[in-house]
Chains A and B, each alone.
Chain A
Amino acid sequence: MSELEFDPAANADLLDHREDHAPGDEPVESAGHYVFNSNLGLGFSIVLTVAAFVLANSQLIYGPSIPIALLVLAIAQMGVHLVFFLHVTTGPDNTNNVLALAFGLLVVFLIVVGSIWIMNHLHANMMPMPMEQLRQMQP
C-alpha cells in the first residue's frame, strides 16, 4: 500500500469546524439558538397559515387569483419549515442536502406537471360523451 498512512488526526488543524450534517441535526449549535429558530419558524408558519385560511374564506383579493396566492403562501411556508425547522441552508455543510432536495423537487415537478400536461391533452383528444352515457358510468 501507499507510504502515506491515513492518520485521522493529521487533518485536524486543517478541518473547518463545521461538519456536514442531516437537515435538522445541529449538534454544534447551542440549544438556545435552536429554540430561537424553532420559535421564529412557528411564528412565520402561523402567520402564513392564518393568511391562507383568511384568503380562502373571504373576498379580500380578486377571486380568480386566490389559488395562486394560496400556492405562493404554501410554498413560502414549506420554505419556512425547511429553513427554520430543518436548517436546510446554502452553507458548505449543507450542499449535499440542498442538491438532494433539488433533485427531489425536480422529480416531483416532472411527475405532477408532466402528468397534468399529458392527461389534459389526452382528455382534450378523447371523444366527447353525451350526458346519458355519463350517467350510465355511475356505479
Chain B
Amino acid sequence: MSDIPLPAAAETVRRVREDPHRLGHRDPHAHETVEGAGHGKTGPARKRIIVGYGFWIFLLSDIVMFSCFFAAFAVQREATAGGPGISELVDMRRVGWETGALLLSSYTCGLSFAATNVRSKLWTQIFLLATGLLGLIFVGLELLEFVDLASRGIVPQRSGFLSAFFGLVGLHGLHVTLAGMWLLTMMAQVQLKGFRPEIVHRLICFNLFWHALDIVWIGIFTIVYLMGATS
C-alpha cells in the first residue's frame, strides 16, 4: 500500500476491483483467494468440494462411533467373568495376514483413484477389483477367526469382555463388508456410466471411507490384538 493518496475515483476503482465485498484488509493475504475455503469471497463452493467435505464430516462421526466401542473395550477388558481373556483370543499370524491384506487394499484403492484422475477406466477397475479382493480376504479371515472362536465356546454371550471384543472387531468387519458392497456398486457404475461428475464424487467418498477403515484397523490391531498378546 503506497503512502501517496490516490485521487478518489481511482481509489474507488481499485477498491472495487480488489475487494468487491468490502472484506477489508484485516487478512494479510486478502488478495489470495482459495476457492471453497469458505471465507465468503467466492460464493458457494463447487459440488466436488461440498460432497468431499460432507463425507469427511460423516467419517469423523463414524470415528466417534468406533471410539465408543473402543471405550467399552477399554472399560470391560478385565470383565471376563471367569472366562477367556484377550491373550487366549489372539492368533498373531492371522492378524498379520489381515493387517497386510487391508493395508495393501488401501494402497490399491489409492492407485485406483490415481487412475480415475487420468480417466483410465481399465486401470480404475483393475485396482478397484484388487481392493475388493483384498478386502474379501480380510473379511474372510475375520469370519474364520470368529467361527474358530465360536467352536471353542468363545462367544460374545459368555462375558462383558467378549461382548466388547466382538462388538468392536465385528463393527469394523461390518463396515468393511458394507464398503465391499459399495465397491461392487461403484465398479458397476463406472463400467456403465463412465466418469461422470457424480460418479467421480462417489469415488472420492469411497476412497475416503476405505482409507478411514484402514486407519481404524490400525487402532484395533494395536490396542486389541498386539497389546492384548503382550498383556
Spell out A's residues near B (CB within 8 Å): 4, 6, 8, 10-11, 14-16, 18-27, 29, 31, 34-35, 38, 41-42, 45-46, 49, 52-53, 55-57, 63, 66-67, 70-71, 73-74, 77-78, 81-82, 85-86, 92-93, 95-97, 100-101, 103-104, 107-108, 111-112, 115-116, 119, 134-135, 137-139
Contact = CB atoms under 8 A, between A and B. Distances in A.
A85 B222 contact: no
B226 A86 contact: no
Contact of A38 (B83, B99, B114, B204): B114
B91 to A, nearest CB: 12
**Chain B: interface secondary structure?**
helix
Contacts of B114: 31, 34-35, 38
Interface residues of B, number: 69
B77 to A, nearest CB: 10
A14 B31 contact: yes
Interface string B179-195: 00000000000000000
Interface of B: 16, 18, 20, 29, 31-38, 41-43, 45, 48-49, 51-53, 55-57, 60-61, 63-64, 67-68, 70-71, 74-75, 81-83, 92, 96, 99-100, 103-104, 106-107, 110-111, 113-115, 117-118, 157-158, 204, 207-208, 211, 214-215, 218-219, 221-223, 226-227, 229-230
A24 B113 contact: yes
